[in-house]
């Protein structure tokens, strides 16, 4: 298939491009480089030996997207493009609502018009809100507590309605849990701008000595060691989940959790990182981060049964690969 990957120059998109090429698909990328550069795509080319036609395009721009569809025989879209920083979304809600929902509408409309009938969307476990764990796909969604989360809820609704009205349109809503790690080559990985907000990139920067110590946000949660519990998933497993979804989605809306089904606490992650990489992570316990939930992880059975996909890489793999990339990359 010829797949248009929006946001393909970013963290999850670049890994997915790699596995799409390895699975024999053709890939074109549309990205406005608002949170990336073309470097990761050049590295994907280095690893796979395949070219990726690149369009420096904002996918909220209807004419620019139409032009890509006119020039290429596209079979499907994987839509990663979007803003993703929760804190920033509270400060700039209109930027987030505009970018994340208009991009979804523009791409879905182009797909329907050009009969590119497979649409895979990057959603998030954040749509479950504070639900009963493990989170399963049939749960009633809770309103998200921040504009970023709302853009995912709204985009899911837009695509669900579009699929209802267009019976040939196949949509996969993939709810990611906590993607971490990097490709085993150490060539591509997560390279956030500025000080990272998420745990794993923060840990790798402490390990590198760029940041003095990790702050552990709360050790008084109702969890086994009191620190927050999440379902960390290796980005390569996550990328492979997209390939599985693309090949087996049915007409209509298909919702899948992409997680491991296992919860890991902040302290367990620090300990594993230290052990497998033989580095020390200085940390201090501080107060809870506002808006954090104590514990969540996926019920991952639906993807296993219907997509024949499971996350195979261990927490040790995630820590090893994240550190290998951090050591290789940048200053």
Judged by beta carbon, residue 105 or residue 285, the one nearer ligand NAD is 105
CA–CA distance, 159 with 156 (Å, rounded to integer): 5
Q: What SS3 class is residue 135?
A: strand
Q: Report the partner that residue 86 touches, choosing among ligand UD1, ligand NAD, none (CB closer than 5 to 8 A by kind).
A: ligand UD1
In the shown chain, the binding pattern of residues 157 to 186 toward ligand NAD, with x for contact by CB under 6 A and - for none, equals -------------------x--x-------
Choices 69-77, 106-114, 160-168, 285-293 (CB under 6 A): range interacting with ligand UD1: 285-293
Q: Which of 11, 128, 148, 176 is catalytic?
A: 148
**Contact between 292 and ligand UD1 per CB under 6 A:** yes
Instruction: Indicate if the alpha-carbon torsion angle 11, 148, 159, 237 is positive or negative.
Output: positive
Nearest alpha carbon to residue 145 among 153, 137, 136, 156? 153
CA–CA distance, 124 with 86 (Å, rounded to integer): 12
Residues 6+ apart with CB under 8 A from 153: 127, 141, 143, 144
**Contact between 311 and ligand NAD per CB under 6 A:** no
Minimal distance in Å, beta carbon 54 to ligand NAD?
A: 11
Q: Report the partner that residue 261 touches, choosing among ligand NAD, ligand UD1, none (CB closer than 5 to 8 A by kind).
A: none
Question: 148 catalytic, yes or no?
Answer: yes
Backbone φ/ψ region at 57: left (φ over 0), alpha (ψ -120 to 50), beta: beta
Given 26, 32, 89, 257, the residue binding ligand NAD (CB under 6 A): 32
Q: Which two tokens stand for residue 318?
A: 């995630």
Q: Which two tokens stand for residue 229?
A: 């519990």
Residue of this chain nearest to ligand NAD (CB atom):
10
Q: Report the partner that residue 59 touches, choosing among ligand UD1, ligand NAD, none (CB closer than 5 to 8 A by kind).
A: ligand NAD
Choices 26-34, 223-231, 247-255, 299-307 (CB under 6 A): range interacting with ligand NAD: 26-34
**Contact between 226 and ligand UD1 per CB under 6 A:** no
Q: What SS3 class is residue 261?
A: coil
Judged by beta carbon, residue 26 or residue 122, the one nearer ligand UD1 is 122
CA–CA distance, 41 with 64 (Å, rounded to integer): 21
Minimal distance in Å, beta carbon 228 to ligand UD1?
A: 2
**Contact between 121 and ligand UD1 per CB under 6 A:** no
Per the DSSP assignment, residues forming a β-bridge with 137 are none
CA–CA distance, 36 with 264 (Å, rounded to integer): 29
The alpha helices in 172-234, defined as continuous H runs, are 199-208
Q: Report the partner that residue 31 touches, choosing among ligand UD1, ligand NAD, none (CB closer than 5 to 8 A by kind).
A: ligand NAD
CA–CA distance, 118 with 308 (Å, rounded to integer): 18
Q: Which of residues 229-268 bind ligand UD1 (CB under 6 A)?
A: 230, 266
| Cα distance between the two ends of the chain | 38
Nearest alpha carbon to residue 169 among 232, 121, 208, 97? 121
Judged by the rule CB under 6 A, the positions of this chain that interact with ligand UD1 are 86, 124-126, 149, 178, 197-199, 202, 214-217, 228, 230, 266, 289, 291-292
Query: Any idea which residues carry the catalytic annotation?
Result: 148
Judged by the rule CB under 6 A, the positions of this chain that interact with ligand NAD are 6-7, 9-13, 30-36, 58-60, 80-82, 84, 99, 103, 122, 124, 176, 179
């Amino acid at each position: 298939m010829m797949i248009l990957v929006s946001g393909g120059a970013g963290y999850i998109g670049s890994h997915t491009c790699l596995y799409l090429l390895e699975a024999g698909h053709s890939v074109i990328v549309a990205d406005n480089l608002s949170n990336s550069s073309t470097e990761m795509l050049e590295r994907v080319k280095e690893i796979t030996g395949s070219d990726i036609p690149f369009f420096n395009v904002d996918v909220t721009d209807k004419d620019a997207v139409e032009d890509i569809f006119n020039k290429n025989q596209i079979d499907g879209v994987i839509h990663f493009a979007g803003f993703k920083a929760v804190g920033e979304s509270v400060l700039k809600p209109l930027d987030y609502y505009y970018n994340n929902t208009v991009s979804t509408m523009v791409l879905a409309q182009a797909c329907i018009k050009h009969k590119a009938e497979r649409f895979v969307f990057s959603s998030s476990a954040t749509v479950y809100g504070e639900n009963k764990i493990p989170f399963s796909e049939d749960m009633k969604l809770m309103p998200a507590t921040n504009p970023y989360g709302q853009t995912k809820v709204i985009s899911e609704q837009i695509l669900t309605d579009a699929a209802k009205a267009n019976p040939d349109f196949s949509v996969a809503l993939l709810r990611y849990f906590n993607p971490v790690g990097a490709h085993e080559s150490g060539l591509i990985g997560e390279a956030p701008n500025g000080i990272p907000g998420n745990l794993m990139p923060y840990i790798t920067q402490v390990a590198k000595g760029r940041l003095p110590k990790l702050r552990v946000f709360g050790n008084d949660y109702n969890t086994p060691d009191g620190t927050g519990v999440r379902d960390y998933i290796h980005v390569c497993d996550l990328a492979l989940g997209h390939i599985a979804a693309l090949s087996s989605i049915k007409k209509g809306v298909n919702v899948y959790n992409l997680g491991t089904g296992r919860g890991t606490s902040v302290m367990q992650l620090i300990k594993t990182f230290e052990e497998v990489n033989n580095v020390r992570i200085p940390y201090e316990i501080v107060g809870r981060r506002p808006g954090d939930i104590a514990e969540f992880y996926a019920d991952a059975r639906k993807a296993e049964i219907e997509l024949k996909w499971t996350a195979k890489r261990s927490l040790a793999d995630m820590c090893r690969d994240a550190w290998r990339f951090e050591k290789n990359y940048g200053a």
